[in-house]
Chains A and B, each alone.
Chain A
Amino acid sequence: MQPSSFANPTAVSDALDRVGYLPDTGVATAAYLAIRMARPLFLEGDPGVGKTALAQALAEITGSQLVRLQCYEGIDASQALYDWDFPRQILHLRAAGEGADTTALEASLYDRRFLVARPILQALEQSPSVLLIDEIDRADDEFEAFLLEVLADNAVTIPELGTIRAETPPLVVLTSNRTREVHDALKRRCLYHWVAHPDFAREVEIVRRHIPEVTEKLARDVAAAVGRLRESDLLKPPGIAETIDWARALHILGATGLDADLAAATLGAAVKYHEDEVRVRRDILPQLAEQLR
């Protein structure tokens, strides 16, 4: 499907829905504008609200390849852009032997086949593509400056080879967990969207989509329980990923609904900190049991 074939946010919403991602109006509008305006989409939100999943879904609905770049501290151009395959170059040199024509040999040394394309170069070479730059806040600020340059030109210049330009610019999705403030110059280029937790009805629907086997009642119970947990000021409120995990765990145990015992036994699927677990068991589970009865 060509990107331009989306006429309005609703069309994007429907397409996302068809590939199994249930967007709200905000996500759909943000995605639609990112596609239409060819702007990078900057996503923030609590861990586990589906930022990465959105990038995957966008790749699917635009019929393009998803290229993912996971950021970490100390990441640099050779890990994000390209690198030369040194061992192969050495082998090539050795194989040519002593008598070879030096000029031709040098030229052949910096051939495309000795170039290892890292995610950003891959995304530029494969059009159309969706480039997911995951957890940009983990990278250093020098890396942002470098990224800004690539995003502005949609091209990469390799001194030995020349400039490689994307036929169609990749749709760029950046995610951040806010461990560090990303530089304003980068944010300014992007469309910003804060991904919120889904409301109850949407969450039930998401669970049923991901695990069609679960009963309607179990999905509703789990979504209600998770909603309750999110309100309780935990260190790590459960995200959608946890909701799905929890429902799946319960389903494996043969549950068709949630009760206090089952919740206590499977709590580890939703709550990931010891302090939280203690609090939930002491304060929240008893109330939850009342509520579910």
Chain B
Amino acid sequence: MSDQVLVLTGFARDLRAAGVAADRTRLTTSLAALTHVDALDVEQVYWATRVALCSEPDDLPRFDALFDTWFRQRPPALPGPAALTRAQRGQLRPLIANAPGDGQEDDDPLRTAATEAEILRQHDITELSPDERDEINRMIALLAPRVATRRTARRRRGGNERIDVRRTVRTMLRDGGEPGLLVHDRRREKPRRLVLLLDVSGSMSPYADALLRFAHAAVRVSPTRTEVFTVSTRLTRVTRQLRLRDPELALRAAGRAIPDWSGGTRLGESVRAFLDRWGQRGTARRAVVVLASDGWERGDAELLGEQMARLARLSHKVVWVNPHRGKAGFAPATGGMVAALPHIDELVAGHSFDALRNVAEVIARA
């Protein structure tokens, strides 16, 4: 018996390392479940532990791979979680190559007129020195993107839209059945869901850190109504990781979860994966969707166009954040951008703190 406890505890720990929420409660449940089935029959053990330890479809492939190594003595079908973690560790440091020289900045006429902070705010994030970056990161953490509201089916007291029969009759009852004042109710408003799709491919890597910080701020404001995904060659959901309170820890956790950091871009396929697995079921419905990318599409631009059209039909508003939008001489000419342009509601910049603040405002107005 204690042997079983030992094995399952170790198994659950490996599952947790692989990102499955196999916590102590679930471990206890799995032990209880095992007492009801034939513990010598691998199939029964498989199902009993699976129903107890898993809690979402994304867990299943990881569970299957680990179950095979633990109980079926087979080599794992997936790369081990530890190897994956090591390869990605440290990739979330501010992705800045070198700070610009001082001489160049002294020529800047704005420098004398504006305060340091103001310059910092308008500067392209990639051109900041590490210290300035820390400052900006703190400022981003304070950005709290609130989302516009929508009317819901639920009603609340007040207004003069409709008579609230329940409350009116309840008042009558209290007064011994005497007809009294009519109570009215009105529709309740609720913030819309916010979905952030962040491109973390190679061409976007200078901005990815700031965008993830922005996403973290958004998740902090409304943890249950914000969803964050990263896109590159594949789609990764990082909402769970970004719910960690501390930005550094959250970003590190997100970095570990993203397998295709600084990879190529397959925007069309990633957006389709998002819509198939999440968007169409409801995540994108009535939501404000923000897609941050430079539109460098390595895959099929036509597919991206189709998928953006689908996204536009499902969601309330699609905002495209393109860091290059803030640069002089920008024209939305990359293949992906051109294909997506007809289906987006707003195209905004995202290269500096002020630009990110503008994104927050656009979201609030949506």
Residues of A within 8 A of B (CB): 8-9, 25-26, 29-30, 32-33, 36-37, 39, 42, 44, 72-74, 76, 78, 86-87, 89-90, 93-94, 109, 137, 140-141, 177-181, 184, 187-188, 191-194, 233, 235-236, 275
B166 near A86: Cβ-Cβ < 8 Å: yes
Q: A90-B172, A177-B282, A179-B282 are in contact. Are A184 and B33 (CB under 8 A)?
A: no
Q: A37-B32, A193-B50, A193-B51 are in contact. List 11 more A-B contacts (CB 8 A).
A: A9-B37, A25-B43, A29-B48, A29-B51, A32-B37, A39-B29, A76-B154, A141-B224, A178-B278, A235-B310, A275-B310
**B56, A191: Cβ atoms closer than 8 Å:** no
Bound: A9/B281 CA distance, A: 32
Classify chain B's interface size: 35 or more
A134 to B121, CA, bound (A): 49
> Are the C-beta atoms of B33 and A33 separated by less than 8 Å?
yes
| Also in contact, A179 and B224, with CB within 8 A (given A26-B47, A184-B55, A193-B51) | no
> Number of contacts between A and B (CB, 8 Å)?
106
- Which residues of B3-62 have CB atoms within 8 Å of chain A's CB atoms? 21, 23, 25-26, 29, 32-33, 36-38, 43-44, 47-48, 50-52, 54-57, 60
Q: Is B83 at the interface (CB under 8 A from chain A)?
A: no
CA distance A185 to B124 in the complex (A): 42
Which chain A residue has the least Cβ–Cβ distance from B284? A179
> Could you tell me the distance in whole angstroms from the C-beta of B178 to the nearest C-beta in chain A?
10
Within the complex, which residue of B47, B172, B176 is in contact with A29, where a contact is CB–CB below 8 Å?
B47
User: What's the least CB distance linking A206 to chain B, in Å?
Assistant: 20
Q: How far apart sit A235 and B280, CA to CA, in the bound complex (Å)?
A: 8
**Least Cβ distance of A90 to chain B in Å?**
6
B23 touches A188 (CB 8 A): yes
Q: Known contacts A8-B38, A187-B55, A235-B280: does B153 contact A72 (CB below 8 Å)?
A: yes
Q: Which residues of B contact A233 (CB under 8 A)?
A: 276
Q: Which residues of A contact B224 (CB under 8 A)?
A: 141, 180
A187 to B283, CA, bound (A): 19
Quick check: A191 and B172 within 8 Å, CB to CB? no
Say yes or no: A90-B153 contact (C-beta < 8 A), given A33-B33, A39-B29, A141-B224. no
| B residues less than 8 Å from A73 (CB atoms) | 152-154
Select which of B50, B52, B176 is within 8 A of A93 by beta carbon.
B176
Kindly name the residue among B51, B173, B282 whose own CB sees the greatest number of chain A CB atoms within 10 A.
Answer: B51
A148 to chain B: closest CB distance in Å?
13
Residues of A within 8 A of B89 (CB): none
Instruction: Please tell me if B169 contacts chain A, counting CB pairs below 8 Å.
Output: yes
Q: Does B170 make an interface contact (CB < 8 A)?
A: yes
Chain A residues whose CB sits within 8 angstroms of the CB of B79 once the complex forms: none
